[in-house]
Structure 1
Amino acid sequence: MKKINLHTTLDHFEGIEELPQNDQLLLRQALEARLRAYAPYSNFGVGCAILLEDGTVVEGNNQENAAYPSGLCAERVAIFAVGANHPGKIIKKLAITAGPLDGSFDKPVPPCGSCRQSIAEFENNQQQPIEILFMGTQGAVMRAGSISDLLPLIFDRDYL
């Protein structure tokens, strides 16, 4: 037996102000999308803004349902909207913000496992990395250069 070490590197910013202007704008759009989340059960709003290669921004937010498995995360709402309405367009960046709808949260919130897998499918299909920015509602921001930084052992079509 041998052990295999996996290593990833993320960029950490103390606040949104440290980011380039275009990244600040994308995160602000995700913050706005978060405010429109339908989260009456968890009161935890998540917003996502996706930047396409042509400059189009597609937003999404979490949509909960009384039958819990029937809801959908903000990242998948947005990325599936890209697939449905902008097929074949390259996704450059994805920004995520999250926190209680009635308060603030200063810890960066990464995408859940299901969202990571969905992002991986799009990244694999476009054969270009998708940069991912994530934060709470304020404070520190993390940046991953690719979904493989957050999901190093991606399950893709090569296994089928």
Structure 2
Amino acid sequence: MMIEKHINTTIQVFDSISELPDDIQSLMQNAVEARDRAYAPYSKFKVGAALVLENGSIVKGSNQENASYPSGLCAERTAIYAAGANYPNQKIKAIAITATSEKHDVLEPIAPCGACRQAIAEYEQKQDQPIHIYFTGTSGKVIHVKALLDILPLAFDNKFL
């Protein structure tokens, strides 16, 4: 017998960065600084990510493009993997993500791509604790989710292996 189930999620929407708690505003400013250092000569689409660890350390990442497109890496994964390599025993509490384009205004929040969602899911599972995710465009609204599963329900993880 077929059963239909509904998957619900909750997001928080802030009108601007200035509405965020002070510590998250600071984290978002770190993401903006990382975004400004992105290497995006092909897409002209720059993304910055900053995450805060349980010890208070901030780890930044920006997208790094390559003429061989699959060889590039997104900002979120750059930051997450740097944290994993340099702070292997620290849990990630939150990540802030911001994007801009040299071609047009980015006024809508830009969510992590599928590959980055999967990487965040891996670290949530590894640390057995959700990661708060905040994302925005160049300016405007900011979306906050309390865990990756809020934007990637039915995530693939190691229990399937």
- TM-score (normalizing by structure 1): 0.98
Matched residue type, 1:120: A
Counterpart CA distance in 1 for 2:102 and 2:147 is: 28
Counterpart CA distance in 1 for 2:93 and 2:50 is: 11
Instruction: Give CA-to-partner distance per residue, 1:90-109, whole Å, 9 cap, x none.
Output: 10000000120466421000
Q: Does 1:90 align with 2:91?
A: yes
Counterpart of 1:53 in structure 2 is 54
The alignment-based identity, stated in percent, is 53
- What is the CA RMSD across the aligned residues, in angstroms? 0.9
Matched residue type, 1:154: A
- Report if the CA contact (8 A) 1:48-1:78 is conserved: yes
- SS of the residue 2:61 aligns to: strand
What are structure 1's unaligned runs of at least 5 residues? none
Counterpart of 1:154 in structure 2 is 155
Q: Does 1:139 align with 2:134?
A: no
Matched residue type, 1:57: I
Matched residue type, 1:144: V
Q: Does 1:25 align with 2:21?
A: no
Counterpart CA distance in 2 for 1:62 and 1:49 is: 12
- Report if the CA contact (8 A) 1:44-1:101 is conserved: yes
Counterpart CA distance in 1 for 2:74 and 2:151 is: 17
Q: 4+ residue runs of structure 1 moved beyond 6 angstroms? A: none
Counterpart of 2:128 in structure 1 is 127
Instruction: Give CA-to-partner distance per residue, 1:67-112, whole Å, 9 cap, x none.
Output: 0100000000000001100001010000000120466421000000
Counterpart of 1:81 in structure 2 is 82
- Report if the CA contact (8 A) 1:50-1:78 is conserved: yes
What are structure 2's unaligned runs of at least 5 residues? none
Counterpart CA distance in 2 for 1:111 and 1:53 is: 22
Matched residue type, 1:7: N
- TM-score (normalizing by structure 2): 0.97
Counterpart CA distance in 1 for 2:92 and 2:157 is: 18
- Report if the CA contact (8 A) 1:35-1:101 is conserved: no
- SS of the residue 2:118 aligns to: helix
> Number of paired residues?
160
